[in-house]
Amino acid sequence: MSKSMARVRRALEEAGLRAEIHELGEARTAAQAAAVAGCEIDQIAKSIIFAGLDSGRALLFLTAGGHQVDTARASAVAGEPLGKADAALIRAQTGFAIGGVAPVGHLSPIRAYLDPRLMEFDVIWAAAGTPHHIFPIAPTDLHRVTGAQLAAFVA
């Protein structure tokens, strides 16, 4: 098990949650992940990272798989202009590589925002620290363990 996946497992277990990690295989898109998980595309919680242009910190936007983050709305929610986060910032703050950013288990605390669409399901699926692994979680648990603010930031 990779160090990144082990951090996700530990974070879930420390939050009192069952860490049930599944392999995705070669799935690269939310639609492909949903097909592997046997769920709707919007049940895939995408972890989108932006760079805060004022703070210099990474910000996490957890969005439903079928949604796109609207940068202007996300900037308004975050209270600062946002730009593209590069791989170095993402790795330094979260400890994850692009494509495998989990919503939990980050190396440093991160401001997080949650797409309300995710709250409409009993179970959603999120990256487990690698581009090839996901885990199921109740949206209320995801909201609790990430401390994410529910916000409207999608197009």
In a domain, 137, yes or no: yes
Q: Which amino acid is at 44?
A: I
pTM for the full model? 0.95
DSSP state of 154: B
Distance CA(90)–CA(97), nearest Å, equals: 7
In a domain, 35, yes or no: yes
Instruction: State the chain's mean pLDDT as an integer.
Output: 95
In a domain, 15, yes or no: yes
In a domain, 52, yes or no: yes
In a domain, 155, yes or no: no
Which CATH number do you get for residue 114?
A: 3.90.960.10
Q: Which position has the token pair 């898109």? A: 29
Domain that holds residue 84: 3-150
Q: Cβ contacts of residue 40 below 8 Å, gap of 6+?
A: 34, 65, 121
User: pLDDT tens, position by position, for the chain (155 residues)?
Assistant: 799 999 999 999 999 999 899 998 878 899 999 999 999 999 999 999 999 999 999 999 999 999 999 999 999 999 999 999 999 999 999 999 988 999 999 999 999 999 999 999 999 999 999 999 999 999 999 999 999 999 999 98
In a domain, 21, yes or no: yes
Sign for the CA dihedral angle at 25, 28, 31, 34 comes to positive
Q: Work out how many domains the chain is built from and give that number.
A: 1
